[in-house]
Amino acid sequence: MTALADILRKQIRTTGPLTVSQYMSACLLHPEHGYYTTQDAFGVDGDFTTAPEISQIFGEVIGLCVAQAWLDQGAPDAFALVELGPGRGTLIADVLRATLQVPGFHAAARLHLVEASRRMRALQAAALPAHAPAWHDTVETLPEDVPVFVIANEFFDALPIRQFQRDAKGWREVLIGLSETGQLQRGLSDAAPIDALEHRLDDTQPGALIETCAHGTAVVDAVARRIAQQGGMALIIDYGGWRSNGDTFQAVRAHRSVDPFSDPGRADLTAHVDFEALARAAMIAGCEASQLTDQGVFLERLGITPRAQTLARGLRGSALEAHVGAHRRLTHPDEMGSLFKVLGLFPGTESPPPGLDP
């Protein structure tokens, strides 16, 4: 058991059971014992591998998408290039390298990184030696006077969710309390009537479990308001689907699925992203949302295969094999190609970002 488990047990004894959201926040971002505060999570040696860590072509293609969207919006001479949850900084470094040849893009861009973990910020600074990013704890402090071009890859899945289980009459919230032997254990609250869940009584049966992510919709609200008023766009890339359905709360450690309650703070905790909720939040904020598109389709439309073929010409042997494998992993429907989806946000006066349909 971890030090964080002791802290959480004490907290539960003092103030009662935790929501999944409170538990997830503590496990990921506790200032001393949180996963993102203490671990170097990414890559082959870490707990999980994200798309930009698989191959540079992912970030290059995203970079060309952002640059084309910037050109399509009249190449504004000052804009914020924003990444939410940049991890090791690999994606934004690849985006910046791929856009070096786009006339005026770098001169107009100011880099803004939304990152809660000080440890991650240090890794990002090291990955971007030629840039001076402005870091933000939350999206609330992002610029309010220039267009914002926002990238978020595997950010929303890390935001804390709440879980609700349906009974014959309505919803009960999943809570984390203690077993008789003092172990963390899941249970259900008394009836939790929540207006925002009323409509889900129409498409669920007793026993169904659904997840909500208020943090995610608040982030989209802040970003979408800026896009609607200031211009720009957002690319939200993550695993999930259209409308939450079922328990997707999961823990991953050393590339294996583990019990989310066994070692709090030592495993990455995530949940699938409910893209419908994000698209709704964007539209309420006055922004348009694109069709939800499979990552594989999106990358193909942006020309990942010719780009991969060009790079392959300079490779031989195991390097070539790894490169071909990486391309497959990013695009193939049996790998990340259809589990991961892309949602674009854009102003009503503009077209969706390249690769996405209105």
The helix/strand/coil state of 241 is strand
Which one of 86-94, 102-110, 203-211, 256-264 is the stretch in contact with ligand SAH (CB under 6 A)? 86-94
Q: What share of the chain is helix, strand, coil (3-state, %, to 5)?
A: 40, 25, 35
Closest CA to 215 of 266, 120, 139: 139
- By CB under 6 A, tell whether 95 contacts ligand SAH: no
- Residue whose CB is less far from ligand SAH, 95 or 158: 158
Residues in 268-327 at the binding interface with ligand SAH, rule: CB under 6 A: none
Provide DSSP, 167-206. -SSSEEEEEEEE-TTS-EEEEEEEE---GGGGGGGSS--T
User: Strand ranges (DSSP E) for 104-182?
Assistant: 109-114, 134-136, 148-153, 162-166, 171-178
Minimum CB distance to ligand SAH smaller for 91 or for 146: 91
- Rounded least distance, CB 320 to ligand SAH, Å: 24
- Exposed, middle or buried, 41 (CB in 10 Å: 0-12/13-18/19+)? buried
Select from 19, 117, 244, 295 the one that contacts ligand SAH (CB under 6 A): 117
Interacting stretch for ligand SAH, rule CB under 6 A, among 111-119, 238-246, 279-287, 306-314? 111-119
CA-to-CA distance for 81 and 51, rounded, in angstroms? 19
Q: Which of 46, 63, 86, 231 binds ligand SAH (CB under 6 A)?
A: 86
| Residue at shortest CB range from ligand SAH | 85
The phi-psi region of residue 4 (left if phi > 0; otherwise alpha if psi is between -120 and 50; otherwise beta) is: alpha
Residue 173 or 238 with smaller CB distance to ligand SAH: 238
Residues 153-172 that bind ligand SAH (CB under 6 A): 153-155, 158-159
Residue 148: CB partners within 8 Å, gap ≥ 6? Answer: 79, 80, 82, 112, 142, 223, 226, 227, 230, 231, 232, 234
Q: Which is nearer to ligand SAH, 53 or 274 (CB)?
A: 53
Question: Which of 34, 46, 63, 87 is the binder for ligand SAH (CB under 6 A)?
Answer: 87
Q: Which residue number, 120 or 161, has a Cβ lying nearer to ligand SAH?
A: 120
Q: Which residues bind ligand SAH (CB under 6 A)?
A: 28, 36, 42, 50, 52-53, 85-87, 91, 114-117, 120, 153-155, 158-159
